[in-house]
Amino acid sequence: RIKSQNSYINNSSRAIGSLWSRRLTKNHFVNLDFNNKYRKNIKHFASTYDDLLDISDFFENNNFLFCTGEINDQLVNSLINSILFLSYKDNNSSIKLCINSPGGSIMAGLALYDAIVWTNKSTNTISLGLAASMGAFLLASGTNGLRFSTPNTRIMIHQPIGGIQGNAVDIEIQVKELLYHRNNINYLLSKFTDQSLSMIESDTDRDKYMTPLEAKEYGIIDRVLNCRDSFKPSIKNCKKVRSVKKSNINWASFYYSFNK
């Protein structure tokens, strides 16, 4: 019985060995990631399974990082780890930071900015979708000449927002801290955009939305990607919006619709 079991094991080992040594043809694809079978893979048309490449590895090898969603400690810690790794691996190529974010934590965003400055690598920032609040700050913090945006991105700057509660002394301390962050971010935005500090303070007093072309004129970005000359005149903001609801909504049509 022992001899039979050993023979079975040997035959199984040979079968597995022949399976792994089998060459892949041009149109065959094997997912070797058994632990996470749902991760997508890039198929290289090559002869062996060694040429399979994971998408996340592909982007990391080409220095692409993604700042998407809310900017919080978890996201930023992951990005800082990748930035330090890329800095250690290759000091010559630039970091490509793709941003699609409504903003988030001030301290987390500043930590990411400090990590980028610390590595002393040129940073190519690219906004897609939305770059608002701290997302717009990170977009503007890229290396001059390497700050890009896609044509339909919306870019928004404003002053820091925070909720404060507690006794009078605690509220006073938190207000001073919030004012410090506002002044610090306004100073850095002034440095990034070459705008005067007074203009930055005025524009960030309320939400200021911009098209990519307006952001380029403002100094937040340097180039709009794939923006044709015929498309440029159509990208404009509404300069004036009526404040009275009655002048904007046809209330009679609503009444008619609900009372048929």
Respond yes or no: is residue 18 known to be catalytic. no
Catalytic entry in 82, 133, 141, 149: 133
The domain limits of the chain are: 62-258
Respond yes or no: is residue 158 known to be catalytic. yes
Summarize the chain as % helix, strand, coil (round to 5). 45, 15, 35
The owner of tokens 């060694």 is 50
pTM above 0.85, yes or no: no
Q: How far apart are CA 161 and CA 233, in angstroms?
A: 34
**Does the 62-258 domain belong in CATH 2.60.120.10?**
no
For residue 99, with 0-12 CB atoms within 10 Å meaning exposed, 13-18 middle and 19 or more buried, which class applies?
buried
- Total Cβ atoms within 10 A of residue 114: 11
Q: How far apart are CA 186 and CA 157, in angstroms?
A: 10
Q: How far apart are CA 179 and CA 139, in angstroms?
A: 22
- Taking the chain (260 residues) in runs of 10, the rounded mean pLDDT of each run is 51 49 42 43 46 71 90 95 86 87 95 93 93 97 94 94 85 92 96 96 95 95 73 44 51 50
The predicted pLDDT at position 99 comes to: 97
Catalytic entry in 82, 101, 127, 158: 158
The predicted pLDDT at position 31 comes to: 42
